[in-house]
Amino acid sequence: MSDKYNYPMHKKFLTLALLVAVATAGAYIYYFRLRRPSSPRTEKIYAWFHDQSSLAEFRMTAGTRCENAPFIFPTDGLIGFIWDDSFQPGHRHAGIDIFAGTEAGLTPVTAAYPGYLTRQSDWTSTVIIRVPDDPLQPGRQIWVYYTHMADPQGNSFVSPDFPKGTRELYVEAGTLLGYQGNYSGDPNNPVGVHLHVSVVKDDGTGNFKNELEIQNTYDPSPYFGLPLNANENSDTIPFCQ
């Protein structure tokens, strides 16, 4: 059978495959972006981005401990996005985002719990603190991850006490780690000024798992004593006094 004879069938097959792919992508985007409604909580947060005079009563203060929670709150600001929020199809947020509503480099970030701090040599805006004994499950090791502490150009706001390459330096709860920033790794696409913090699982060999994957993190709700799980909290902005 010649190539000339096969070409029309091949072309029809490619056209059909392309149409199926476009239809599938369109349906996916329609469902997740258009049809699926945002939660009342996220609607309030998006409104706050445009008018930061609202929701002032929900601003948290660094150092606050909610009831008997083991962690203290690490920075000033509004809890905008929480664990397992979704910003786009297929995305699952692995931590919590706290927005100060200020310029980058002004709002302090402090350690939520004592442990051993590491800042890898290629980390511009990030530190991670190893907690050898999980306060919620003694004997289990966890890691607390803090990021976005730099400006869009990569000028770091991490405290000079923790230069790149720092490993296993003990810090107390409340220790200054740096300042909220808007670093994304792309100077042309900065994020809003905030702190992202997550509770990361140990890999069983004394190292932390990849924080970008939600299955490698724990629901932070019981650590902070706040409703920080989007599956359980669709309408309440987390807050305590």
Say how far apart CA 109 and CA 199 lie, in whole Å.
16
**Average pLDDT of the chain, as a whole number:** 87
pLDDT at 60: 97
pLDDT at 29: 35
Q: Report yes or no: 78 and 60 within 8 Å, Cβ to Cβ.
A: yes
> Residue 195: is its pLDDT beyond 70?
yes
Answer with the residue of higher pLDDT: 52 or 109: 109
pLDDT at 133: 98
Say how far apart CA 181 and CA 172 lie, in whole Å.
22
Domain boundaries, the chain: 1-36, 38-241
DSSP state of 181: B
Say how far apart CA 192 and CA 180 lie, in whole Å.
10
pLDDT at 26: 40
Say how far apart CA 107 and CA 84 lie, in whole Å.
25
Say how far apart CA 19 and CA 49 lie, in whole Å.
38
Say how far apart CA 15 and CA 152 lie, in whole Å.
42
Instruction: Please tell me the number of Cα atoms within 13 Å of 127 on its side-chain side.
Output: 34
Strand pairing class (142-147; 115-118): unpaired
- For the segment 148-174, what is each residue's pLDDT rounded down to a tens digit? 999 999 999 999 999 999 999 999 999
pLDDT at 43: 92
Q: Which CATH class for the 38-241 domain? A: mainly beta
- For the segment 22-70, what is each residue's pLDDT rounded down to a tens digit? 333 343 333 333 333 478 999 999 999 989 888 999 999 999 999 999 9
The pTM assigned to this predicted structure is: 0.84
